[in-house]
Amino acid sequence: MADYSPSEDAPPAIGAFDNSYARLPSAFYVRIAPTKVAAPKLIKFNYALADELGLCPPHGHLAAIFAGNLIPSGAAPLAMAYAGHQFGGFSPQLGDGRAILLGEVIDKSGTRRDVQLKGSGPTPFSRRGDGRAALGPVLREYLISEAMHALGIPATRALAAVATGEQVRREGMLPGAVFTRVAASHVRVGTFQYFAARGDVASLKILADYVIDRHYPETRDAERPYLALLQAVSAAQAKLIAQWLHVGFIHGVMNTDNMAISGQTIDFGPCAFMDTYDPATVYSAIDEYGRYAYANQPRIANWNLARLAETLLPLIDEDTDKAIALATEVIEGFQTQYAARWVEGARAKLGLATVEDGDEALMNDLLVAMHKNQADFTNTFHNLGGDARSQFINPTEFDQWAIAYRARLSRDTLSPAERSAKMRQANPAYIPRNHRVEQALNAAIQRDDFTLFEELLTVLANPFDDQPDYARYSAPPEPSERVQNTFCGT
């Protein structure tokens, strides 16, 4: 941390901003500063991430900067415009109602990253919302986005959490907080929909070119760059959703405004990991019909991509019929692409280096038996080379499956040591189990005690390592600890 002695009103320097989004036309955003909060107090700062970003905020000003009370020099605060389908219904204008993009920095690997405050006060997109965030959801996003990253799954990152010293009104009054997240970008499927809904093809083209430059430069030289862009976004989502399913992650609100064009997991609301394997699992209290249930996620991603495709049609070809035919081919190809990524992930989980046609069925047979026997998803896979059978109500049903599994292993090329190393990297010991997340959040909210939050962050930073001191974090919940519902808390 640099030493910093501020003159009265000079903005602090935290690093080199280069704000490409703020250079786009004014239709893309509204320039707006965060609203100051009463008493900022730093809860958590991610020093390792700050270092990766080349940020060096002055020590004494962390709380003020990441509460939005002090705007660092070079920042160009703005709220992004976007639209979106929420639970299937279209809203032509959503936008950052409680988030403000401070700006962009180029990280040490040369990648452009957004730094955004969430819960930093109202914007012209707030509608009836207060522009604020409660402490619980802020800590939840901090924990889960960092856990996803440690699991090797593309996700936005947590840079800071700051308590505001103010209360927010939700079901009752709750302590408020501001979250700082870092993303490859905050462009969403809904950003494209915003301009498409207005028939603004010129802006759509500017957005598409921006996204190509920032995320998918290899598509620029394709014969049809915008079709290639759709294909690239589709491929990134196929990979991402397969990764979600292989750790038991349920996003909970896969609205088109919550799907990032970059292929990162974004907008951690009522998201949760399942304990007992059940493909119909839904946690989100607002997902009445299970639209975003665990096993529906690939279908929903495909549906969202179809909405993206619709916005790109005028850029794909002047001849609408031709554009539709080309885009449809990409959208229909998603399922095949997803299935390929899923079976690759399944082979890694099973410890297979070779490819056989029966691998998909082998994995599915295990999952069916796990469902029937209420097996814990994480612990069954983590112990596949050991005592997985004890996860089953009727262990002999595991034994039956294991006959086929052993036969398959005997035809594979990996040595036992190689296999066990491969499986270790695909089958985590630790996930952010709901009851543990809930316990950590409750201690912070009710007792201002962040010990459990810190401990959980520590465990989840190395999810593939057996950590004997923290073995309790791998245990599924007792019946009394089971969490049935999660809430957005917005």
Catalytic sites, residue numbers: 257
- Residue 344 interacts, among ligand AMP, Mg ion, none and using kind-specific CB cut-offs from 5 to 8 Å, with none
C-alpha span between 214 and 217 (Å, rounded): 7
Among 116, 180, 243, 258, binds ligand AMP (CB under 6 A): 258
- Secondary structure class of 484 (helix, strand, coil): coil
70-99 positions binding ligand AMP, by CB under 6 A: 94-98
Residue among 72 and 84 whose Cβ is closer to ligand AMP: 84
- Residue 490 interacts, among ligand AMP, Mg ion, none and using kind-specific CB cut-offs from 5 to 8 Å, with ligand AMP
Q: Do 388 and 403 form a contact (C-beta atoms < 8 A)?
A: no
Residue among 38 and 361 whose Cβ is closer to ligand AMP: 38
Mask for 225-254, x = binds ligand AMP (CB under 6 A): ----------------------------x-
165 makes contact with ligand AMP (CB under 6 A): no
269 makes contact with ligand AMP (CB under 6 A): yes
Strands (E), 208-297: 249-250, 272-273
Q: Do 248 and 278 form a contact (C-beta atoms < 8 A)?
A: no
Size of the residue set binding ligand AMP (CB under 6 A): 18
The CB-of-185 to ligand AMP minimum distance in angstroms stands at 16
Query: Is beta strand 99-106 parallel, antiparallel or unpaired with respect to 112-118?
Result: antiparallel
C-alpha span between 363 and 59 (Å, rounded): 50
* Dihedral sign for Cα atoms in the order 115, 120, 126, 128: positive
Residue given tokens 């389908």 in the structure block: 85
Q: Do 252 and 270 form a contact (C-beta atoms < 8 A)?
A: yes
Residues near Mg ion (CB under 5 A): 258, 267
305-334 positions binding ligand AMP, by CB under 6 A: none
- Residues whose CB is less than 8 angstroms from the CB of residue 306 and which lie 6 or more positions away in sequence, other chains included: 331
C-alpha span between 265 and 271 (Å, rounded): 11
Residue among 252 and 432 whose Cβ is closer to Mg ion: 252
- Residue 459: how many other CB atoms lie within 10 Å: 24
275 makes contact with ligand AMP (CB under 6 A): no
Residue among 91 and 427 whose Cβ is closer to ligand AMP: 91
Angle at 173 between CA 170 and CA 178, to 5 degrees: 75
Residue among 253 and 312 whose Cβ is closer to ligand AMP: 253
190 makes contact with ligand AMP (CB under 6 A): no
- Residue 95 interacts, among Mg ion, ligand AMP, none and using kind-specific CB cut-offs from 5 to 8 Å, with ligand AMP
Q: Which amino acid is at 82?
A: Y
The residues that touch ligand AMP, with contacts defined as CB under 6 A, are: 94-98, 125-126, 129-132, 253, 257-258, 267, 269, 488, 490
